[in-house]
Structure 1
Amino acid sequence: MTRLHIHPERHLVARIGWLRAAVMGANDGIVSTASLIIGVAAASAQSADVLIAGTAGLVAGAMSMAAGEYVSVSSQQDTENADIARERSELANDADAEIEELAGIYMGRGLDAATADVVARQLMAHDALGAHARDELGISSVTTARPVQAALTSAATFSMGAALPLATIVVAPHESLSIAVAVASLVFLALLGAIGARAGGASIWRASARVTVWGAIAMGLTAGIGRMVGAAL
C-alpha cells in the first residue's frame, strides 16, 4: 500500500489578516503623527506644545484605529456569518441541489462532469458546510474576519509607529525640528515598507517607495498649512 508523504508548506497568505492591519497601523502612526508634529511646529509652536500635540495624536489615533478596524472587520464578519447561515439552510433543505452547485464550480475549474460530481459528493460527505464556505463563498480559516485581532494589531502598531516621530522631538533642536522629524519619519517609512514587503513576499523597493512618497506628500501639505495658519495668527 502506497503511503502519501505530505510536505508541510507555510504560505504567506496565512499572514494576510494581521499583516494588513499591522502595516496600515504603523504607517498611519508614522504619517499622521509626523504630519501633525510638522504642521504644529511650522506654526511656530514651542517644542513642549509640539510634544503635547503629538502625544495627544498618538492616543487619539490608536483608539481611532482600533475602533475603525473593529467596526469594519466586524461588518465583514457579519456578512460572512450571514452567508454561512444561508448555506446551512440550503444544505438542510435541498442537499442534492447543493451537490450540483458545488460540482458546477469544479467543472468551471476544469474537471469533467463525472469527476466533479464525485469530488463534490466526497467533500460534502466530509464537511458539506466547509466545502461550500471555501469553494462557493471563498471563506476559509486563513481569510476569515477576526475583528479583535485586527483592532489590537492596529492600535499597537499605530502606537509604535507614532512613537518614532515623537522620540525625534526629544533629541532634535527646536530650530530644525520639522526637518529632523520629516527626515527621520521618511527613513522609518522606508524601513516599514521593506519589513512589510519582506513579510508578505513582495518587492522591497516598490513597497518602500510607495509608503515614502505618500508620507512625504502628507507631511509637505501639513507643513504648508501649518505655516499659513501660523502666519495668519
Structure 2
Amino acid sequence: MAYLKIKDGKKHGRCSGFLVAENFVLTAAHCYGRQVTVLMGANDISQPEATQQEIPVLLQIPHEGYDEHTLKNDIMLLLLEWNVSPTMWVGAIALPSAHERVEPGTLCTVAGWGSLWPDAVFYANTLREVDVLVMPDAACPRNPDWLYRHYDPATMMCVGDPAQLYDTAKGDSGGPLVCGGTAQGIVSWGPCKAPGVYTKISVFVPWIRDTMKIFQPGARP
C-alpha cells in the first residue's frame, strides 16, 4: 500500500496507491495533483514510523483516455524519483493477466486511509482494510437518470454487497482491490454506500506494461 499526499495549490488531498515495480505506483487518474508524494510502508500516517519510505513523484502518467466527467479509464502510473528499498513491509503486488476475469461472488480485500463514515469526512490515520464481494454488473445498473449511469462493464467492476454495508469511502481512491494476492481493481467512484465502482486492471495490463517501458529512466525514445 502507498499513501499519496496530494498538493494542488492551497488544497491538500489524499489517495491510495500500490507498488507495481520498484519505481512505479499505480493509482486512479483522478488522484492527479500539482505535487504528489508517496509514503510507502506506512500504517499510521500521523507519525513517523521506522518502516516508512517517503518518495516524491517525478512524473504522473494518467491514461490518455481518462475522462474526468465519467471517470472512464480512471488509472494512472506514478514514476517515483528513486526506487523503493524492498523490505518485509514494502514490495510490489502482482498484476492480473490481460483481460483476466474475476467472477461475481469472489471475496476480495480493499484497504486505505479514507473516511471512517460514508456520509461524513472523518479520515483515518491508521490503515484500514475490509473484505468485499465482487458483484455482478447488474448490481451497478446503467440507468441514465441514476447513480451508475456512467458504469461501463468493459472497464469497470461493481464491488461491495449493499447488504453487508462494507465499502470504501472518500480518501480511499486509488487503492487496490486484492483478490487471491493479485491486484484486480482500483478504487474509483460510487455513491456513499456499496456497491462501489472500481477500475478493472486486467483491461489495462498492456497499457501498464508499455507505459512503464516507455517512461523507465534510461529507456530509449
- From the two aligned structures, give the one with the greater strand fraction: 2
Asked if Structure 1 and Structure 2 have the same fold, meaning a TM-score greater than 0.5 normalized by the shorter chain, the answer is no
**In terms of Rg, which structure is larger?**
1
Answer 1 or 2: which has greater helix percent.
Answer: 1
Structure with bigger RCO (C-alpha 8 Å, 6+ apart): 1
Q: TM-score, normalised by structure 2?
A: 0.23
